[in-house]
Amino acid sequence: MIEFRSVSKTFADGTRAVDDFTLTIPARKITVLVGSSGSGKTTVLRMINRMVDPTSGHILIDGNDIAEIEPVPLRRSIGYVMQNSGLLPHRRVVDNIATVPRLTGASKAEAHARALELMDVVGLDRSLAERYPSQLSGGQQQRVGVARGLAADPNILLMDEPFSAVDPIVRDELQQEVLRIQAELAKTIVFVSHDIDEAFRLGDQVVVLERGGQIVQQGEPSEILANPATDFVASFIGADRGKRRLTVSASAATRGDDRLVIDAGGYPVGVIAAPDGLLAVADATPKTRSISNKSDQAGDA
Amino acid sequence: MDWGWIGRNLDQMWSQALEHAALSTLPIVIGFLISVPLGYWASRSTAARSILFVLGNIVYTIPAIALIVFVPVTLGLAVLDPRNLVVALTLYAIALMVRAASDAFAAVPHDVTGSATAVGFSGIQRFFAVDLPLAGPVLLAGVRVVSVSTVSLVSVGALTGIDNLGMLFTDAFRNDNFPEAVAGIVAVLIIAAVFDIVLSLIGRLLMPWNRRSPSRVLRPTVAI
């Protein structure tokens, strides 16, 4: 569990990035911090591994104030995945994944064996181990980034907009991978995103931030969708534009039992099954959805 | 014109060439070792950068012959001591190399160094494991310039009586021996070329990720 207690951060140039921020991030769940640029979401994330130190307030991990932990060992104990992977371009994939175990004193053989196992976990072919990052596709690089983040088996994994620079198909696959890996490993994941759809898909808890790290709403995706707390949230999730209000199209021709679903603007968003004229109903708990194991990587290349 | 002179004096030229190479190697190596930390400092501090660059420009403006005469006076060495030449050329090497080193470190991508810090590299670990190797290609380019410049500047040492290939020029001038001057030019060029090849080989060995040869680049297979 990670707790922020009245945390503020003012940068040297006077920018107040985060103002009196209080939040509890539950263990073994995915918490997504979502907001537009300037909302302070990345600053909040970077305070967890002391890449940024708060000006005031306290941050606790499992009850321990992190201000009392040396930054370097703290960072080694927390997984970190960033946009554009942040991989070391001069090291092979296997060495990149083995980075943190090597820093904490694991032997090369041990760290490499572990790295190869992690390549399996994140769905990378072991034949890529000897390549340099620039020889991989963007999606593969992000998988390496995730594997590196997991290498020291940390309890906490910080993910700073990790999938925002890859194309939508690959992003979709990577999001699926995160959910699959999380189902297996159950880490405390803090995920920063500016994409509300990504937040709703991945988050057990979604925290919507406005300027200065102000929390405008937090809760499960279904709560936020059903009851946006403010006009800002409604606009951010697209509810104000009718993007989230769906109706079954009366006119469109459909196949079999399927009916076309449109949003308030009349744009098609999907189909819904309606056997015998009755709409299909299901339990809304998102974690029950089936997640395919070891998804095909073809779209990654 | 007596081209046969060259054949009769190969032994002497060989020993002068070895001396020339030795006198060139020291300033290149020492200059590099001093410039790397200075360049790193310059890349991280605006004040350090302006001071070091101005100093470098001033040193580089001093004529070589003046510097070679000036150094023994300052260090209290004998005028004919070859160490004068090494010190003077090291100063030139630093003047050239600090700027290149500063550029090299400044060009290391910030997202890479930032993520290295975020995963738990300490400052000194990050310097040796991340900043230094990634600055490598630009550092190498800088050393290659310094190498060529140093090899040619060593010849100037002959004017103060320090034995090396430059002696061929002073000799040729005194005895009106044109073939000797040609032999000197060719020999200096050969040394400069050998140094350059050795440096680029060292670069390929130390920076395997930087090889541009297309056969080495394995492209990801694309599923269609």
Q: Does A220 touch chain B (CB under 8 A)?
A: no
Using the structure block, give the residue that is written with the tokens 């925002």.
A164
B117 to chain A, closest Cα gap in Å: 8
Whether pLDDT at A81 is above 90: yes
Q: Which residues contact A34 (CB under 8 A, 6 or more apart)?
A: A41, A192, A193, A194, A195, A196, A198, A199, A203, A206, A207, A208, A209, A236
Q: What is the pLDDT of residues A172-215, one digit of tens each?
A: 999 999 999 999 999 999 999 999 999 999 999 999 999 989 99
pLDDT tens per residue, range A255-282: 778 888 888 888 888 888 888 778 777 7
| Cα–Cα distance measured from residue A191 to residue A276, given in angstroms and rounded to the nearest whole number | 42
Touching check for A241 and chain B: CB below 8 Å?
A: no
* B122 interaction partners in chain A (CB closer than 8 Å): 72
Place of tokens 């004040």: B47
Please check whether residue A103 touches B, CB under 8 A: yes
Å between A69 CA and nearest CA of chain B: 13
User: Mean pLDDT in chain A?
Assistant: 89
Sort strands A205-210 and A188-193 into parallel, antiparallel or unpaired. Answer: unpaired
State pLDDT tens for residues A140-169: 999 999 999 999 999 999 999 999 888 999
d(CA A252, CA A70): 62
Does the beta carbon of A132 lie under 8 angstroms from any beta carbon of chain B?
yes
* Residue A2: band (very low, low, confident or very high) from pLDDT cuts 50, 70, 90: very high
Q: Computed over its alpha carbons, how large is the radius of gyration of chain A?
A: 21
The reply to whether B127 touches chain A by the CB within 8 Å rule is: no
For chain A, give the number of residues.
Answer: 301
> Which is nearest to A198 in space by CA: A154, A153, A159, A246?
A159
Please give the pLDDT value at position B223.
Answer: 42
Whether the CB of B134 is below 8 Å from some CB of chain A: the reply is: yes
Give yes or no for residue A68 having a pLDDT over 60.
yes
How far is residue A32's CA from residue B20's CA, in Å, rounded to a whole number?
Answer: 65
pLDDT tens string B82-119: 888 889 899 999 999 999 999 999 999 998 999 999 99
B152 touches chain A (CB under 8 A): no
- Identity of the amino acid at B157: G
The predicted structure's pLDDT at residue A286: 57
Q: How far is B214 from chain A (nearest CA, A)?
A: 11
Residues B137-153: what's their mean pLDDT? Answer: 94
Give B-chain residues touching A149 at CB under 8 angstroms: 119
What is the distance between the alpha carbons of residues A156 and B82, in angstroms, rounded to a whole number?
A: 61
Candidates B109, B120, B223; nearest CB to A100: B120
Phi, psi of B31 (to 5 degrees): -60, -40
The number of residues in chain B equals 224
| Contact list, B133 vs chain A (CB under 8 Å) | 90
Q: What are phi and psi of B177, to 5 degrees?
A: -110, 90
B119 to chain A, any CB pair closer than 8 A? The answer is: yes
Beta strands, E only, chain B: none
Which among B115, B133, B134 has the least Cβ separation from residue A86? B115
If you write DSSP's letter for every residue of A133-156 in order, what string do you get?
GGGS-HHHHHHHHHHHHHTT--SE
Which are the contacts of A5, defined by CB distance < 8 A and separation ≥ 6?
A: A22, A57, A58, A59, A60
Q: Do B209 and A91 touch (CB under 8 A)?
A: yes
Q: Is the dihedral of CA B204, B208, B211, B214 positive or negative?
A: positive
Distance of alpha carbon A59 from alpha carbon B140, whole angstroms? 45
Contact flag B209-A132 (C-beta cutoff 8 Å): yes
Query: What was the ipTM of the complex prediction?
Result: 0.82
When CB atoms are compared, the residue of B119, B209, B218 closest to A80 is: B119
- Token duo for residue B210: 């930087």
| Alpha-carbon torsion (A284, A286, A292, A297), positive or negative | positive
| B125 touching A (Cβ < 8 Å) | yes
| φ, ψ at A50 (rounded to 5°) | 60, 30
Q: Are B128 and B108 in contact (CB under 8 A)?
A: no
- Residue B217 pLDDT greater than 50, yes or no: no
What DSSP string runs through B10-27? HHHHHHHHHHHHHHHHHH
pLDDT digits (tens, 9 = 90+) for A124-134: 999 999 999 99
Place of tokens 């410049």: B149
Helices (H), ranges, chain B: 4-8, 10-44, 46-61, 64-75, 82-106, 110-119, 123-126, 132-154, 166-175, 178-206
Coil, strand or helix at A219: strand
Which chain A residue is nearest to residue B207, measuring alpha carbons?
A90
Q: Which of B119, B121, B215 to mutate to test the interface with A (most CBs of A within 10 A)?
A: B119
Residue A57 distance to chain B (closest CA, Å):
22
pLDDT confidence bin for A285, thresholds 50/70/90: low
The tens digit of pLDDT for each residue in A92-113 reads: 999 999 999 999 999 999 999 9
B-contacting residues in A 23-42 (Cβ below 8 Å): none
